[in-house]
């Protein structure tokens, strides 16, 4: 008799819970959640959208063929709580194209997701506090206010603030989750089919009565493996497939450098009023290899935008 037939549905759910607890405890990443507001921010402050800080010897970044790029996010690490492996100071910026350029903020123009032709990551390890906004503003090829017909993310500039550092366990959308789950299950039931014990596999077999003990226990697991939100660090959210499944070397991109998530209902993004992040209900994230983060080399970042 198979283990599927020998165990009750609740026994399988309890085993699933034990495995999820174990792999999340053993696979955690430091994470800093982000909050946004319509408050004032200066040219060297952390913010999304608007005018970027530019040292006096730096030009405004332009895409291949003269494509204007737009500031998506600027992070001043001196304003963020210290987080393991991340810079303690310096400014990191993410620039994107208008969404309509290629239907994906310039990220669809290259196939491997790491070529910064129509998007750009800029890093300034030292900040010149004498630079003012007017100096940076005149370098912009098009003023932010003059690009209102463009589809940019975010729709309006917003101040960025940082919440305390947390530890986030691996989630079900990360490519490693299924591998870790299968390995842990094998220690309990060597012959078992992992798909019959994963949370979403069990969902298909559990009676859809929300008041039943089985469903409540399973919903707790599903809540536990949710992921998303606007953050630095932790694990990425992929509304479509994890791109690291499709390249032999891409699993090395294992650190979430920055993520914007349009799901501001589940993951509150702060006091932004009716301002949208303009991601069409999707998620934008940037990953980096551990060795590159250590070396402060942001030239080979893996980027993706996707929506359902």
Confidence of residue 211 (pLDDT cuts 50, 70, 90): low
Indicate whether 209 pLDDT > 70: no
Indicate whether 204 pLDDT > 50: yes
| CA 73 – CA 163 distance, rounded (Å) | 17
pLDDT at res. 3:
54
Tens of pLDDT, residue by residue over 54-104, are 999 999 999 998 988 999 999 999 999 999 999 999 999 999 999 999 999
Domain chopping of the chain, boundaries: 29-171+225-306
Q: For the chain, what percent of residues have pLDDT higher than 90?
A: 65
pLDDT at res. 5:
58
Average confidence (pLDDT) over 131-135: 97
Token look-up 């210290």 returns 82
| CA 144 – CA 141 distance, rounded (Å) | 9
pLDDT at res. 1:
35
Residues 6+ apart with CB under 8 A from 187: none
Mean pLDDT score of the chain, rounded to an integer?
Answer: 91
Query: Which of 137-146, 209-218, 232-241 bottoms out in mean pLDDT, i.e. has the lowest?
Result: 209-218
Indicate whether 135 pLDDT > 90: yes
Can you list the positions of beta strands (E) in 148-261? 158-169, 231-233, 255-261
CATH number of 29-171+225-306: 2.30.320.10
């Amino acid at each position: 008799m198979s283990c599927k037939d020998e165990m009750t549905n609740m026994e399988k759910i309890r085993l699933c819970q034990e495995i999820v607890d174990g792999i999340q405890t053993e696979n955690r990443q430091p994470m800093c959640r982000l909050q946004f507001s319509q408050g004032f921010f200066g040219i060297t402050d952390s913010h999304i959208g608007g005018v970027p800080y530019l040292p006096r010897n730096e030009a405004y970044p332009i895409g291949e063929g003269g494509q204007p790029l737009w500031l998506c996010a600027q992070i001043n690490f001196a304003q963020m709580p210290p987080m393991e492996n991340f810079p303690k100071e310096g400014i990191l910026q993410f620039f994107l194209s208008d969404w309509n350029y290629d239907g994906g903020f310039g990220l669809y123009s290259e196939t491997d997701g790491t070529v910064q032709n129509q998007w750009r990551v800029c890093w300034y390890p030292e900040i010149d506090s004498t630079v003012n906004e007017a100096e940076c503003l005149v370098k912009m090829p098009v003023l932010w206010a003059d690009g209102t017909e463009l589809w940019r993310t975010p729709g309006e500039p917003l101040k960025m603030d940082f919440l305390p550092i947390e530890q986030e366990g691996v989630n079900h959308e990360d490519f490693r989750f299924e591998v870790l789950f299968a390995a842990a299950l094998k220690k309990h039931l060597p012959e078992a089919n992992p798909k019959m014990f994963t949370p979403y596999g069990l969902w298909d077999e559990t009676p859809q009565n929300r008041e039943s003990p089985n469903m409540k226990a399973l919903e707790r697991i599903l809540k536990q493996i949710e992921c998303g939100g606007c953050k630095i660090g932790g694990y990425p959210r992929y509304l479509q497939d994890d791109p690291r499944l499709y390249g032999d070397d891409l699993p090395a991109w294992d650190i979430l450098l920055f993520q914007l998530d349009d799901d501001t209902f589940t993951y509150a993004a702060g006091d932004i009023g009716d301002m949208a992040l303009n991601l069409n209900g999707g998620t934008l994230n940037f990953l980096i290899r551990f060795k590159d983060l250590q070396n402060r080399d942001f030239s080979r970042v893996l980027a993706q935008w996707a929506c359902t």
